[in-house]
Amino acid sequence: MISIILIAPPAAGKGTQSELLVNEYGFAHISTGNLLREMALTDKNISDMLSTGSLISDDIIFNLLEDRLLKDDCKKGFILDGFPRTVSQALEYEKIIKRLGVHTNIAIYLDVSKELALDRTIGRLVCSKCGHVYNEFIAESKPSVLGICDYCNAFLIKRDDDNINVFSKRYDLYCENTYPLLDFYKEKGILYKIDSGIGKDKVFEVIKSIVGDFYD
């Protein structure tokens, strides 16, 4: 079982690369943000916290994660998108890895400037039905018809937290809490850094060459 941790600022392309990895290798995609957004449909507290960009408590995150990791689609391997987000979550995750019997654990850092992350956040559109992510400002990520999903014809929507004010808070939280994870995984010798500004297909080529060393 392989565990691939994606680390990056908001909207740097973790979801996009996860989708490509799922299609290529059949791994499970575990996005704590998506799991929380599903929970927010019936939980107003979570919904309020997400729309302000605050971090959700570890109790909730670990409950969601542990349930998700038990599903059959995780048996080959899985991609963690949005988790761990703090060093304390990473430390707790070390125990989970041992329990699950993960044989390969790698962390991939998608490096992107604050300016590009902001552009990608402001332009992000998500399909209301299948969750596919588009960007109205990036040629290679635009839908063919404005506002409509290429795959299921459903409407594209903007996330509540994808605006300039909430972006600033999420970016600050990223710098304060998530950025230190890079040293944590570097010291373990399992960190791979990719410049996410080179375009989604090129980024994926690099990711495949990394994953290919561990998995055929």
Q: In angstroms, what is the minimal distance from the CB of 161 to ligand ADP?
A: 6
Catalytic residue among 14, 37, 68, 120: 14
**Residue with smaller CB distance to ligand ADP, 120 or 149:** 120
The DSSP letter of residue 212 is: H
Confirm or reject binding of residue 83 to ligand ADP (CB under 6 A): yes
37 is catalytic: no
CA distance 31 to 158: 17
13 binds ligand ADP (CB under 6 A): no
> What contacts 24+ positions apart, CB below 8 Å, involve 138-147?
140/199, 140/200, 140/201, 141/16, 141/200
3-state secondary structure of 150: coil
Closest distance between ligand ADP and the C-beta of residue 212, in Å? Answer: 25
Strand ordering across the sheet containing 104-111: 28-31, 77-81, 2-7, 104-111, 191-195
- Strand ranges of the sheet holding 156-157, from the earlier edge strand across to the other edge: 133-135, 124-127, 156-157
In whole angstroms, what is the distance from residue 40 CA to residue 38 CA? 5
* Three-state SS letters, 13-33: CHHHHHHHHHHHHCCEEEEHH
Does the annotation mark 159 as catalytic? yes
Query: What's the distance, CA 132 to chain centroid?
Result: 13
For ligand ADP, give the closer residue by CB, 29 or 191: 29
Catalytic residue among 37, 68, 120, 170: 170
Nearer to ligand ADP, 36 or 106 (CB): 36
How wide is the angle at C-alpha 162 spanned by C-alphas 53 and 136, nearest 5°? 160
Whether 75 is catalytic is no
Query: Please, what is the minimum distance in Å from the beta carbon of residue 10 to ligand ADP?
Result: 3
Residue nearest to ligand ADP (CB): 33
Burial of 136 (0-12, 13-18, 19+ CB in 10 A): middle
Q: Is 120 a catalytic residue?
A: no
Within residues 98-127, the interface with ligand ADP by CB under 6 A covers none
User: Does 7 engage in binding with ligand ADP (CB under 6 A)?
Assistant: no
The one among 20, 22, 55, 154 contacting ligand ADP by CB under 6 A: 55
Q: Which of 51, 54, 104, 163 binds ligand ADP (CB under 6 A)?
A: 54
Enumerate binding residues for ligand ADP (CB under 6 A): 10-11, 14, 31-33, 36, 50, 53-56, 61, 82-83, 85, 89, 161, 170
Known catalytic residues are 14, 85, 124, 159, 170
